[in-house]
Structure 1
Amino acid sequence: MSESTVVRPPAPVVSVRPVVLAAPGRGADLQFRVSTPAAGGALPVIVFSHGFGCSMDDYAPLADHWAAQGFVVVQPTHLDSRTLALPPEDPRTPRIWRHRIDDLRRALDGLEVLEAAVPGLAGRVDHDRIAVGGHSWGAQSASALLGARVLDAGGVPGEDMSDARVKAGVLLALTGLGDDLTPFARENFPFMRPSFDTMTTPALIVAGDHDQSLLSTRGPDWFTDPYFLSPGSKSLLTLFGAEHSLGGITGYGAAATTDENPARVALLQRLTTAYLRGALDPGDTGARTAAAALEEAADPLGKIQTKE
């Protein structure tokens, strides 16, 4: 099957940074990059949460592609970003995981302000078609808006931080159950104890079958927990040979990439785009077309599973 049924000709993109939202109680205003097609209307939105230490300027291979394919891409810079150089002794450090989730909610609350900051964007955004995405720690942050919750020391689920405005998610290299953390991770990252029992919002989970986390006592299958343990409509894309960078999604030539593979990144671009279009517009059949093309490939780079 032709990729042309999934990927449209790329549109010119406008990207504006920094766009700033006031964030009382955060200790610093919240900065964003907003990328959008230069033309077109009724544009769906992706709010994307970066991984540890990154910023709004990372993940260009995804953000650039999504914007060129017709999405408004909103990327906050969280407090753990190396660009902010927050010292470990800062009193906000133990709660950065929660500040991250609040950052994503502020993006939704301030969407009209973000629109107005991009020349010509106001009035072109579809506020009823919003998705969240994230990579690694960013995927955990985004998963909270889809219904995932954090268990306390006694195994009791914490606050429900799901958001009805979010209709779908793309969760890249999202960590699995906290019971499988190493002793070091269990002691230092108590927020990494998720429950997926209430993560009901549709989502695409992406895992690399060579992603061996130093935080887990399990193998790469740890990253498939969010698919198998969450209810509702979910898809799992397993990328063959992929490590935590999934081929290089954090940036073009990023030093953190341990498994550089442009073909893998291109596949991820196509499949995430197709998934989000279908999740936000049930009449769009591109996701099924893309999945069939992957299954029929002579030398596939991955496999897709789906459950309703």
Structure 2
Amino acid sequence: MKLWTLLGLATVTALLPVTAQCETEVAVELLRFEPKDEKRDREVPIKVYWNGEPEPKPVVLFSHGLGGSRENNAYLGEHWASAGYVAVFMQHAGSDEKVWKTARPLQRMAALKSAASLQSSQDRIKDVSFVIDQLTAWNEKASHPLHNRMDLEHIGMSGHSFGAVTTLAVAGQKLPLNRSFEEERIDAFVAFSPQPGKGLPADRGFGHLVKPMLCMTGTEDASPIDPSFDPAKRREVYAALPKGDKYELVLDGAEHSAFGDNRGLRSRNRNPKHHPAIQQVSLRFWDAYLKGDDSAKQWLQSNRPLSETGLGDVDVWSWK
């Protein structure tokens, strides 16, 4: 079995051209930067999707899964940018694609398991804050391509798998010893394939989070590095969240890779309805909580996310 088939995380596609076209036919421009956090002597590569319009746009951050890169989940970056967001996709050294690409074939799984560490989690959390700092500096710098293009009063955070772990951490998840790494500048969160973590029961870890959050998972959303992981555990995150602007989409039959890219990958087991639904539901969530779109919020708080995206009774849409 190919490694990318097993993980469903690391992209194997070629880089996109500088300008891509989305379903809505709005041109999406791509920018790549390699900013360095001098305090940590750490580079945090980013890929930016935006539509090139001069008006400042809300910002959506994305954190890749274990063994991935900033090139992952382009279908989301393009869709969000086409709809009027600056989508910033980060790459986290130490838990990115280099982990498995630099390991011997028979040692790749062990390398990935080793990279799913406390140190990697801490590095990722600091990467998020550093990137926001960097975007703030660029927004104020007249010579930068993104000068005055970002509305940094409205920031969303998202991620898949290990990126969902990062997302929940900066949302303010409580950890053992009463630790928390909340990034207060972020306004709303989308966690693709969330997991409750270890050390504290879910209600103690997430029961205090009041900001808007959308969780997405699938009934077959297992762990790529832990065969004993029960996909149903991912739903413990939403169940533990307090009422108020919280949402959950559960895709019937969706595996862990359902939330990743499908370009160049084996898609034999992928439901063709899933990606469009993921795009539409996530975009409506950003519209509701980063653009203040009341009609989007009303849409979310109804059964329309199933009926209008091609999903059906076998899928689950919940809000509270």
Residue-pair matches, total: 282
2:316 matched residue in structure 1: 303
- What displacement does 1:199 show? 2.8
1:164 equivalent in structure 2: 184
1:264 to 274, 292, 305: 274
In structure 1, the partner of 2:149 is 124
- Unpaired runs of at least 5, structure 2: 1-21, 104-110
| Distance change in 2, residues 1:36/1:150 (3 Å) | same
Amino acid in the other structure paired with 2:36? A
Residue 303 (structure 1) shift: 2.6
Instruction: Provide the C-alpha distance between the structure 1 equivalents of 2:242 and 2:234, rounded to a whole number of angstroms.
Output: 16
* Equivalent residue, structure 2, for 1:188: none
In the alignment, which residue of structure 1 is the partner of 2:67?
53
Residue 298 of structure 2: aligned partner = 288
In structure 2, relative to structure 1, the CA distance for the partners of 1:31 and 1:305 (3 Å cut) is: same
CA–CA distance in 2 between the matches of 1:231 and 1:201?
A: 10
Counterpart-to-counterpart distance in 2, 1:51 and 1:241: 20
Per the normalisation by structure 1, the TM-score is 0.80
Bigger shift: 93-102 or 64-73?
93-102
Among 38, 55, 71, the alignment partner of 1:41 is 55
Q: Matches of residues 1-308 of structure 1 in structure 2 within 5 Å?
A: 9-17=24-32, 19-79=33-93, 80-83=95-98, 94-115=118-139, 120-151=145-176, 156-158=177-179, 160-178=180-198, 195-213=205-223, 215=226, 217=228, 219-233=230-244, 234-246=246-258, 248-254=259-265, 259-289=269-299, 291-296=302-307, 300=312, 302-307=315-320
Structure holding more helix per residue: 2
Counterparts in 2 of 1:30 and 1:212: CA distance versus 1, 3 Å: closer
**Cα distance between partner residues in 2 of 1:82 and 1:16:** 20
* 3-state SS, counterpart of residue 228 of structure 1: helix
Counterpart CA distance in 1 for 2:143 and 2:265 is 27
Moved more, 222-231 or 278-287: 278-287
Helix, strand or coil: the match of 1:99?
helix
Give the unaligned 5+ runs of structure 1: 1-6, 182-191
Distance 1:259 1:242 in 2: 8
Contact 1:202 1:232 in 2 (8 A): no
Q: In structure 2, what is the Cα distance between the partners aligned to 1:203 and 1:62?
A: 17
Deviations 1:200-221 (A, max 9, x none): 3211000101223363756322
Identity %: 23
The one-letter code sitting in structure 2 at the alignment partner of 1:12 is A
Q: Cα gap change, 1:216/1:199 in structure 2, threshold over 3 Å: closer, same or farther?
A: farther
Q: Please say which of residues 56-65 and 198-207 is displaced more in the overlay.
A: 198-207
Aligned match of 2:106? none
Secondary structure of 1:81's aligned partner: coil
Query: What CA deviation, in whole Å up to 9, does each residue of 1:54-105 have, x standing for no partner?
Result: 00111111111111111101111101112366776x9996511100111111
Distance 2:115 2:72 in 1: 26
Which SS does the other structure have where 1:262 is aligned? Answer: coil
